[in-house]
Structure 1
Amino acid sequence: MQTLSAKDAKYNFGRLIDTARAGPVTVEKHRRPVVVVMAVEEYDRLRVIEARLASGGKE
């Protein structure tokens, strides 16, 4: 997983988006991870998995 500082993410937002489309990106503030940015397709995939687990795997 790639990591960017909050400053780099702010000033290179287009790069952040492009990088996140290829895989999750951790954004750090004061060298501490604060958020993960990911492609919407990956987010949707995780939501489906979460819904299946919540329903006991029945779908």
Structure 2
Amino acid sequence: MQTITTSQARNEFAQVIESTRRGPVLIQRQKRDVAVIMSADEYQRLVHLNVSEFQRFCDQVGHDAQAAGMNEQVLQELLGDD
């Protein structure tokens, strides 16, 4: 990943945007990571990946809960709903 300073990002913004075609660009201020600029396509890929991963996690939790005997009736009893 390319790393640049905030000054470089400010002074060479058009080039930084163009650089995102090759991969994310890390921006540092006083040698600390402060931001990452990435292409819109990469951003969409990550958002979709996170949604997919979360769905898989939820599916696994549901499967594990069901295998442990959790069902709607048990859940209602635990929550005190009648």
Does TM, normalized by the shorter one, top 0.5? yes
Distance in 2 (CA, whole Å) between partners of 1:6 and 1:20 is 16
Q: Name the residue aligned to 1:25.
A: 25
Give the Å deviation of 1:18.
Answer: 0.6
Unaligned runs of 5+ in 1: none
Distance in 2 (CA, whole Å) between partners of 1:37 and 1:8 is 13
Q: Number of aligned pairs?
A: 58
Q: Name the residue aligned to 1:43.
A: 43
Give TM-score scaled by structure 2 length: 0.66
Distance in 2 (CA, whole Å) between partners of 1:44 and 1:34 is 21
| Cα RMSD, aligned residues only | 1.3
Q: Name the residue aligned to 1:52.
A: 52
Secondary structure in 2 matching 1:3: strand
Higher helix proportion (structure 1 or 2):
2
What do the CA deviations read for 1:6-39 (whole angstroms, capped 9, x no partner)? Answer: 0000010001101112100000001111111100
Q: Name the residue aligned to 1:11.
A: 11
Secondary structure in 1 matching 2:17: helix
Higher radius of gyration, 1 or 2: 2
Unaligned runs of 5+ in 2: 60-82
Higher strand proportion (structure 1 or 2):
1
